[in-house]
Structure 1
Amino acid sequence: MSTIAARPARLYGVLALAEMITWALLLSGMFVKYVLDGWDGFVRIGGSIHGFVFLSYVVVTVLVAVDQRWKFSSLALGLGSAIIPFLTLPFERSAARRGMLGATWRLRSEEPTTPVERVAALALKHPVLAAVTAVIVVAVVFSVLLSLGPPTEWFS
């Protein structure tokens, strides 16, 4: 299997980089809108792309954490790295150095021992179905969040 998803380290690295790049898009759009008093469409475009990639990064972080048996604190740091601009790639590099990103998916060959591992193992054994399901779930969550408007308006 030569796809991006063939190895946890590869998939996680691609998503970490994409999340970082989309932060740059969003922040650039905000710069144009608020500093240059320019078109606010850049924020909508950059924000939409970033939001979708952010949710995808969250899904992949949880999948890798379950498969590679991360401690809860490592999972929290991985998820938290997406909230602070440009931190996902440094976190991914640190996780790779510490051996947290496996060369193979553990749950493709090992028997799952918890309900969460069973779900992850099912996803890994049926990657196309899991990817389609993940994209649909991310799209639904993304649509709900879009309908709520910008986060700054959620509690107004």
Structure 2
Amino acid sequence: MSPRTFYRTVAIAEAVTWTLLITGMILKYGVGVGDWPVKVGGFAHGLVFIGYVTTAVLVGLNQRWPKRLMVGAAATAFVPYLTIPFDRWLEKNNKLDGAWRTSATAHPRDSHWVQVVLRWMLNRPALLSVVFVVFVGGIMATMLFVGPPGGRS
């Protein structure tokens, strides 16, 4: 899977989970079916939200995006559906071009320890997948332990 496909898939999933969360809120507050739709939609959205931010950083590092662009990509997850037009902007500006960088080049940033670790992980896709899932799951577990925004009722 290319960086473009990986980023695009998670960006679309993030927009889909916004739909689940918004639908859950409509069902809870508009129709009065109880808390479960928000809990389901909120859990799915939270998990994919964290995955999207992590993906934006991972792909951004691989594509050598400036820090500001990585932060901007992550910030799009806070606004419903903004990941989709941002993905289109990235595509239009060739920010998703290229494969995973599994070997060093002459680029000055390639000797930075972050890039070295990234290449090492990219050369071990099974390990990278496990680290990605554990990282996202760990943040999600921490957030569930801390509690929902606004506290528990």
Matches within 5 A, 1:12-31: 12-31=7-26
In the other structure, the counterpart of 1:118 is 116
Equivalent residue of 2:65, what SS?
coil
Work out the CA distance in 2 between the residues paired with 1:96 and 1:75.
15
In the other structure, the counterpart of 1:3 is none
User: TM-score, normalised to structure 1's length?
Assistant: 0.89
Shift of 1:102: 2.1
Equivalent residue of 1:152, what SS?
coil
User: TM-score, normalised to structure 2's length?
Assistant: 0.91
Work out the CA distance in 1 between the residues paired with 2:54 and 2:121.
12
Work out the CA distance in 2 between the residues paired with 1:52 and 1:27.
15
Pick from 133, 136, 141 the counterpart of residue 134 of structure 2. Answer: 136
Provide structure 1 residue ranges, at least 5 long, that are not aligned to the other structure: 1-5
The structure 1 segments of at least 4 consecutive aligned residues displaced by more than 3 Å after TM superposition are none
Shift of 1:46: 0.7
1:47-73 CA distances to partner (integer Å, 9 max, x unpaired)? 111111111111111011111111122
Quick check: 1:7–1:102 contact (8 Å CA) kept in 2? no
1:39 matches 2:17: no
1:68-107 CA distances to partner (integer Å, 9 max, x unpaired)? 11112211210010010100111111101101102311x2
Report how many aligned residue pairs link the two structures.
148
Q: What percent of counterpart residues are identical?
A: 34
Shift of 1:130: 0.7
Provide structure 2 residue ranges, at least 5 long, that are not aligned to the other structure: none
Q: What CA RMSD, in Å, does the superposition of the two structures yield over aligned residues?
A: 1.4
- What is the letter of the counterpart of residue 126 of structure 1? R
Work out the CA distance in 1 between the residues paired with 2:52 and 2:120.
19
In the other structure, the counterpart of 2:5 is 10
